[in-house]
Amino acid sequence: MPGKKTPRSVQSSPQGFRGKGGETHQTAGGDVPVLTTQQGSPVSDDQNSLRIGARGPALLEDAHFREKIFHFDHERIPERVVHARGFAAHGFFETYEPLTDITRADIFARKGERTPAFVRFSTVAGNKGSPDLARDVRGFAVKLYTQEGNWDIVGNNIPVFFIQDPIKFPDLIHAAKEEPDRGFPQAATAHDNFWDFVSLTPESTHMLMWAMSDRAIPRSLRFMEGFGVHTFRLVNAEGRATFVKFHWKPKGGMQSVVWNEAVKLNGADADFHRRDMWAAIQSGDFPEWELGLQLFDEEFAKTFAFDVLDPTKLIPEEQVPIRRVGRLVLDRVVDNFFAETEQVAFMTQNIVPGVDFTNDPLLQGRNFSYLDTQLKRLGGPNFVHLPINAPKCPFAHFQQDGHMAFHNPKGRANYEPNSWGGAAGGPRESPKHGFVTHPVEESGAKLRARPERFADHYSQARQFYISQTPVEQGHIRDAFAFELGKVETLAIRLRVVSHLLNVDGALAAAVAEKLGIAKLPAAAEPARPIRTDLPPSSALSILLNPPPNFGGRKVGALVTDGTDAALLTALRSVLEAEGATLELVAPSIAGIVASDGNTIAAHHALVAAPSVLFDAVAILPSTDGAALLATMPAARDFLADAVAHCKFIGHVEAAGTLFAKIGVPTDDGGFVPLRGAADATGFVVRCRAMRFWDREADLPPPRPTSAGPTKPHKKQA
């Protein structure tokens, strides 16, 4: 408007664009701040770039346009070379009891103290936009903002790793990620390069058993364990060190999906895990884990069957029990995904006084890699100035300058020793409070070699396998068959089977059979005798450690006009009391008119909500509704998948016509009749078992094994 003074906006605080005293426009939506350039100059027109005449050439002097496009062109930072796809949340760690006898770490000094935490979960192989339910290891990286600095426990949801020496990490990751000539497959190890590498690297065998197990397809990031993997040290004030392995135990128990479900979930909701975590936190159902410590001394390390520095081995909980020392609660989603989840820089070398490394070669290699990678990803040495990476305790040092330096010390002293004295002289080292490396004696020749005790690659792989229930063993067998079914080169398939023969003969035979291998290859030559005396460890099985209840889970109710309103209300209240949720899936997103005449909104339209989104389903149509559903292919898929994925299926009598039409046999114990509101409780009690595994009828009969007698756990009731 000619003559009208342009309103000024003050962009000030890093929190937002509406600074104190900033001028605003009145709009229909209320007061909004005036749009400005990054330099703070108010913008009059953000719809049209500057031109000579409406149809004329663009002008280089259009600073607003140039700044806007320049910034857009530089929005991306390199994604992580591994663990690119991740999801994170804020929370806290609460210490149960002081652990001062074991460690001087400040975080463990006071009972009940809460330390801020930030946790990022991830897949390993897929790119940033890959689906959540890829069969993959999950990263479980925890940043603890302690009073004595940031402590990062950069772990995984699997307690062992593929390789023993960090020099092989680039090879492993190259082989696992998309093949370089074709750029696919993405977020999948089911291809020749991966299986070629791991089959030529027998130390991978133990990890492969885990990666082919249900651990690699978790139902939720909330329902998986985390592990620090390496052996670390805890050191007390007297300088006494204790070896430690870190464990995160989910309060909601462990749960995974089945592979066919994972495949479908990736299509139905590629963001299934991140949405689940977001929704849980936003609804106040805060995900929680307990920190467990496996503590042991040099004496144990010497007598243990394997080297505690070998990251392809674990220590069974039966041998070194887990002591639970605190809880980790995630109670806040990020404000901005890029600023926090993308820019967070986890580093294994971030430890604090009271914690120390061991010589685990993989850990030592990681300590180099994580600092290095941040420079590439975040673009300069000042990434610790970013709020998400900055310590929350006081810090003071003489490091200065560099790209994007936000914390710039005042005063003259930027070196030490200096003679400026007092506060003007800046910070000084503290022999008393500072980090002291545990003084381990080391000697030996410089060489490139592995310890002899690292060379047993099969015994613990076998122990893991025999620790699984028959259902879980079946899943492992099927996963090998699936992945190797995608491998084009027969020699690679045979090589994998030759390793499996050293794990369990029946497993190898079953995989070979599924792959149509008529004659089993010879077993791979083991470098050390395979131990067949390691007993099953029930802690290694998911199904032998069921969740405490159905809390945090979700039932999808298929409803239509005329659905029994009282039953729906009862089901909702029983589920709420359990800590679970009920979501309504209706023929249309507009919802339904229930039996009491009330209109109820739907959470999902049937076509957009396959049953893979739910832990259990309830089929609750009216008689007319059942007839309508019977005509809908999506209803058939909803039900057929729920059956195939062994879910509990609650149902009203009217659903019978639908079952008959679709041809689903309903006589197994996984179908729970809901004759009225009173049956809701019984249904939810059944759901606590999570899945009705008896439906997976084709479990292979036990067969003799080449690596010794297999004593699998008894099939579950």
Catalytic residue, chosen from 64, 150, 156, 157, is 156
Fill in the amino acid letter for 23. Answer: E
CA torsion, ordered 547, 548, 552, 557, to nearest 10 deg: 90
Chain centre to alpha carbon of residue 183: 24
Q: Which residue, among 702, 156, 207, has the nearest Cα to 458 in the 3D structure?
A: 207
Q: How far is the CB of 370 from ligand HDE (least distance, A)?
A: 4
Question: By CB under 6 A, what part of segment 213-232 binds ligand HDE?
Answer: 229
Is 337 a residue that touches ligand HDE (CB under 6 A)?
A: no
Per CB under 6 A, the segment of 69-77, 153-161, 295-303, 570-578 that binds ligand HDE is: 153-161
Query: Which window, 264-272, 365-373, 617-625, 653-661, contacts ligand HDE (CB under 6 A)?
Result: 365-373
Binding segment for ligand HDE (CB under 6 A), chosen from 75-83, 94-102, 125-133, 320-328, is: 75-83
Q: Which of 277, 148, 279, 154 is nearest to 223 (CA)?
A: 277
In the complex, the smallest distance separating the C-beta of residue 304 from ligand HDE, rounded to whole angstroms, is 20
- Could you tell me the smallest distance in angstroms from the CB atom of residue 80 to ligand HDE? 4
Only segment of 358-366, 391-399, 419-427, 499-507 that touches ligand HDE (CB under 6 A): 358-366
Tell me whether residue 158 or residue 265 sits nearer to ligand HDE (CB atom).
158
| Cis amide bond preceding 185, omega within 30 | yes
Strand partners, 94: 114, 327
Q: Are strands 649-651 and 671-673 parallel, antiparallel or unpaired?
A: parallel
Q: Which is nearer to ligand HDE, 151 or 648 (CB)?
A: 151
Residue 309 interacting with ligand HDE (CB under 6 A): no
Which of these, 550, 147, 126, lies nearest to 353 by C-alpha position? 147
Applying CB under 6 A, among 166, 470, 587, 591 the residue interacting with ligand HDE is 166
- 131-150 footprint of ligand HDE as x/- string (CB under 6 A): --------x-x---------
What is the DSSP code (8-state) at residue 243? E
Of 36, 186, 369, 418, the one binding ligand HDE by CB under 6 A: 369
Q: In whole angstroms, how close is the CB of 695 to ligand HDE at the nearest point?
A: 35
Closest by Cα among 80, 44, 402, 355 to 228: 355
Q: Which residues of 132-166 are buried (b: 16+ CB within 10 A; e: fewer)?
A: bbbbbbbbbbbbbbbbbbbbbbbbbbbbbbbbbbb
Tokens coding 296: 């042991």
Cβ 145 to ligand HDE, closest distance in Å? Answer: 16
Asked if 381 touches ligand HDE (CB under 6 A), the answer is: no
Tokens 């006071």 correspond to: 110
DSSP state, residue 375: H
Residues 235 to 254 in contact with ligand HDE, rule: CB under 6 A? none
User: What minimum distance in Å lies between the beta carbon of 325 and ligand HDE?
Assistant: 19
- Establish if 625 lies at the interface with ligand HDE (CB under 6 A): no
Calpha distance 619→631 (Å, rounded):
15
Q: Which CB atom, from 223 or from 227, has the smaller least distance to ligand HDE?
A: 227
Least CB distance to ligand HDE at residue 152 (A): 9
Beta strands in 261-389 (DSSP E): 288-296, 323-333, 355-356
- Residue written as token pair 């003050």: 10
Residues of span 426-445 touching ligand HDE by CB under 6 A = none
CB of 127 to ligand HDE, least distance (A): 13
Q: Does the annotation count 25 as an active-site position?
A: no
**Which of 64, 83, 247, 457 is an active site residue?**
83
Using CB under 6 A as the binding rule, whether residue 463 contacts ligand HDE is answered as no
Whole-angstrom Cα distance, residue 256 to residue 235? 36
Task: Give the closest residue to 609 by CA, choosing from 265, 156, 331, 188.
Answer: 265
Q: Hey, what amino acid is at 113?
A: E
Catalytic residue flag (residue 156): yes
Q: Total binding residues for ligand HDE by CB under 6 A? A: 25
Which residue's beta carbon is nearest to the bound ligand HDE? 139
Burial of residue 95, with CB atoms counted within 10 A of its CB: 0-12 exposed, 13-18 middle, 19 or more buried: buried
d(CA 345, CA 141): 10
Footprint of ligand HDE on residues 167-186 (CB under 6 A)? 169
Q: Which residues bind ligand HDE (CB under 6 A)?
A: 80-83, 86, 120, 122, 139, 141, 154-156, 161, 166, 169, 229, 311, 344, 346, 362, 365-366, 369-370, 373
Q: Which amino acids are annotated catalytic?
A: 83, 156
